């Protein structure tokens, strides 16, 4: 069944867990969609896992549209959420609405996600008023990595924990239908989750959140540059891929691939005319 913002609302009301995974291309999104995941996030983490950047700062609107559209073509049932990249919404409310609109029209997103609390509430409100569903993102917000001074757990002090709680209330009031909590102590995520009417989706925020999200390359063991504590490897696909690539090199090298079964035929009559 097609997942929408109503699926998220009803899941929270019924206490049913929500599932979200990232995807950035058609084939992977199709597999994830067929697995029955509620939502596919076209995260700006594509900067790291697809484009090989150190962080998400360099990701552009064109990157998000290009990958978002590929995922949207594959997703039959999952709600496709596309990230708003760095500086596509921080600059003004006007920019935020225009760029969110582009993600809906050109990438065929079902919702957009942006990072930040109170400071981006005017943007959230305006995007929602334009009829576009918004996912908020609090805690470790990678677009602010330089301001944080690195990838660190957020909300650990009394002041930071209170701010996160205030921000969560503010983004809900501004109209976000869901909030991602990244790298937040589990007990704080629990307080936020219990205090909100909208669902929380955790990544490194414990299991009391209303749902979970992971970067698919992380959970499949396909990305080895950096593995955060919160990642569980559900399979070691990276190793399987490497074995297959090595076997391919070996078989091509020794001439055993392609075999006869991979060849196309032509009549001997045609061949005889070529000599």
Binding marks (x or -) toward ligand KIV, 216..255, rule CB under 6 A?
----------------------------------------
Is residue 13 annotated as part of the catalytic site, yes or no? no
Told to check if 88 binds ligand KIV by CB under 6 A, we report no
- Report the residue from 74, 104, 213, 220 that binds ligand KIV according to the rule CB under 6 A: 213
Told to check if 44 binds ligand KIV by CB under 6 A, we report yes
State the nearest-atom distance from the C-beta of 43 to ligand KIV, in Å: 2
Residue 33 is given by DSSP the state H
**How many residues make contact with ligand KIV (CB under 6 A)?**
12
Q: What share of the chain is helix, strand, coil (3-state, %, to 5)?
A: 45, 15, 40
Distance CA 198, CA 176 (A): 8
For residue 158, give the 3-state DSSP assignment. helix
HEC per residue, 191-212 = HHHHHCCCCEEEECCCCCCCEE
- Report the residue from 75, 121, 153, 203 that binds ligand KIV according to the rule CB under 6 A: 203
Give the H or E element holding residue 240: helix 237-254
- Report the residue from 24, 43, 97, 175 that binds ligand KIV according to the rule CB under 6 A: 43
- Report the residue from 3, 22, 200, 217 that binds ligand KIV according to the rule CB under 6 A: 22
35, 38, 36, 16: which is closest to 210 by C-alpha? 16
State the nearest-atom distance from the C-beta of 275 to ligand KIV, in Å: 59
Distance CA 86, CA 31 (A): 28
Told to check if 143 binds ligand KIV by CB under 6 A, we report no
Pick the closer one to ligand KIV by CB: 102 or 113: 113
Classify residue 230 as exposed, middle or buried by CB count within 10 Å of its CB (0-12, 13-18, 19+): middle
Provide the annotated active-site residues: 182
Residues engaged in binding ligand KIV (CB under 6 A)? 22, 41, 43-45, 83, 137, 180, 182, 203, 213, 215
């Amino acid at each position: 069944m097609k997942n929408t913002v109503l699926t998220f609302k009803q899941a929270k009301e019924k206490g049913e867990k929500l599932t979200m995974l990232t995807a950035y291309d058609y084939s992977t999104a199709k597999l994830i969609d067929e697995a029955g995941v509620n939502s596919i996030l076209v995260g700006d983490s594509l900067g790291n896992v697809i484009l090989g950047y150190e962080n998400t700062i360099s990701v552009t609107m064109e990157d998000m549209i290009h990958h978002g559209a590929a995922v949207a073509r594959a997703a039959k049932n999952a709600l496709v959420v596309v990230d708003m990249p760095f500086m596509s919404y921080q600059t003004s409310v006007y920019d935020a609405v225009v760029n969110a609109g582009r993600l809906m029209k050109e990438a065929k997103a079902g919702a957009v996600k942006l990072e930040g609390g109170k400071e981006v509430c005017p943007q959230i409100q305006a995007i929602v008023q334009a009829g576009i569903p918004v996912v908020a993102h609090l805690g470790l917000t990678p677009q602010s990595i330089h301001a944080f001074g690195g990838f660190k757990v957020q909300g650990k002090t009394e002041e930071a924990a209170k701010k996160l709680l205030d921000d969560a209330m503010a983004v809900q009031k501004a109209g976000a239908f869901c909030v991602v909590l990244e790298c937040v102590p589990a007990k704080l995520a629990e307080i936020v989750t219990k205090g909100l009417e909208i669902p929380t989706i955790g990544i490194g925020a414990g299991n009391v959140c209303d749902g979970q999200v992971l970067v698919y390359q992380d959970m499949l063991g396909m990305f080895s540059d950096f593995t955060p504590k919160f990642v569980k490897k559900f399979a070691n696909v990276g190793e399987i891929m490497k074995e297959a690539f090595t076997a391919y090199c070996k078989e091509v090298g020794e001439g055993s691939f392609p075999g006869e079964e991979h060849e196309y035929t032509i009549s001997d009559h045609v061949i005889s005319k070529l000599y």
